[in-house]
Amino acid sequence: MNYIVVLIVIGAFWVGMAAINKIVNLQRFNIEFGDVMLVWRTERLNNFLDSISQRFGSFWSIYSGLGVIASSAGIIYILYSLLNNTYRILFAPEKTSLYVQFVVPGITIPFWYPMIGLIILLFAHELSHGIIARAEKMTLKSVGLMVVVAIPGAFVEPDEASIKEARRSSRLKLYAAGSFANFLVGGLALLLLVNFVLPPLQGAADGINVTDVMGGYPADKILEKGTVIFGVDGESARTMDKFSEIMKRHKPKDTITLNTDKGDFKITLASNPNNPQMGYIGINIEQNFSGHLDILYYLLYWISNLNIGIGLMNLLPITFVLDGGKMVKEYLEMILPARTATYITTGVGVFSVLLLIINILPGILK
């Protein structure tokens, strides 16, 4: 989807909501209207969370305990991953093509499948926070539904005084619950993808779909978005693996012929920005499939990718902002005075932000 169309639709929605708010006054329906935010608070969701947390009390105790273990491991993993990638970016940039990317459906990533994945992510994350808060006897200040810019979701706002009065173990369970739910949802989607969708899709692979053509690179003004590549120099390349295998044989300045559904195109390769020794066409691609199983494939792919990826980023120990930072502070306060723990977690938070910036900038600049 063209990002200009996305921006126009989003802008028209919020202009329309502003007009409706002036005519109807949405506060009459417990709806708060902001510049790019709609919030609806309701007691019915409080009652629902109370019912769920009380009905399966022993299950939530085990669930939240496992959540603390999984999220604690996630903190270590995300820090290690960013540190390792930071080293590669700074000292071996030719060996890395992995960068942290902003998730903006329709602009930085496709629209519909990631949007569904984000909605599921937000609901799972906030629902898990809310259930564990009530299971651990914490008070919820507000519960409701919201739309932020263009992404609908749910929110749970525990009472801060209630959190401070709770046991440390309860606070850890609360902070870990959101990412743990995302890991479970993402893991389930990945399991379904690998075991039930990919096997039949292997026989349905039918070319490489060009999703974007980068300006200034060899494919610019030669290939069009939506072109399906079937082969290279007459050699069949109907799967991503085969296409990648063929392209790895070619170096910059090699001339290849792409066999597509729109004819054959000769292209002289440029240097790959991430590996100057490899040839580069300058296109973004995805697997093209015959039939309709691809719908389920991309839906499960984005659900798993976003839930696991954003669930991990939420565990980055940025103090007072992300759940990972709150968990690290709780752990440090077990062994250090509160003030010392606050200083250390603040320092770790600043360091984490620096790592994040280093991992974001190369992708933006390229």
Q: Same structural domain for residues 157 and 44?
A: yes
Q: Same structural domain for residues 188 and 232?
A: no
pTM above 0.85, yes or no: no
Cα–Cα distances in Å, from 298 out to 67, 180, 191, 326?
Answer: 27, 23, 14, 34
Binning the chain into helix, strand and coil, the percentages to the nearest 5 are 60, 20, 25
- Per residue in 258-308, pLDDT tens? 999 999 999 999 998 877 888 999 999 988 887 777 889 889 999 999 999
Q: Same structural domain for residues 43 and 72?
A: yes
Q: What is the pLDDT of residue 52?
A: 93
Q: Give the rounded percent of residues in the chain with a pLDDT score beyond 90.
A: 59
Q: Same structural domain for residues 160 and 210?
A: no
Cα–Cα distances in Å, from 32 out to 42, 146, 148, 292?
Answer: 12, 9, 12, 40
Query: Is 337 a member of any domain?
Result: yes
Q: Are 77 and 312 in contact (CB under 8 A)?
A: yes
Q: Same structural domain for residues 271 and 339?
A: no
Q: Same structural domain for residues 194 and 78?
A: yes
By CB atoms closer than 10 A (0-12, 13-18, 19+), residue 97 is: middle
Q: Same structural domain for residues 214 and 323?
A: no
Helix (H, G, I), strand (E, B) or coil at 213: strand
Q: What is the pLDDT of residue 46?
A: 85
> What is the average pLDDT score of the chain?
90
Q: Could you give the dihedral angle defined by the CA atoms of residues 52, 53, 58 and 61, in that order, rounded to the nearest 10 degrees?
A: 130
Q: Same structural domain for residues 112 and 248?
A: no
Q: How many domains does the chain have?
A: 2
Query: Is 30 a member of any domain?
Result: no
Query: Is 123 a member of any domain?
Result: yes
Q: Same structural domain for residues 194 and 329?
A: yes
Q: Same structural domain for residues 152 and 282?
A: no
Helix (H) or strand (E) holding 325: helix 323-335
Helix (H) or strand (E) holding 32: strand 31-33
- Per residue in 293-302, pLDDT tens? 788 988 999 9
- Assign residue 285 the CATH number of its domain: 2.30.42.10
pLDDT band at 2 (very low <50, low <70, confident <90, very high): low
User: What's the domain range around 156?
Assistant: 36-199+300-365
Whole-number Å distance between alpha carbons of 160 and 192? 38
pLDDT band at 96 (very low <50, low <70, confident <90, very high): low
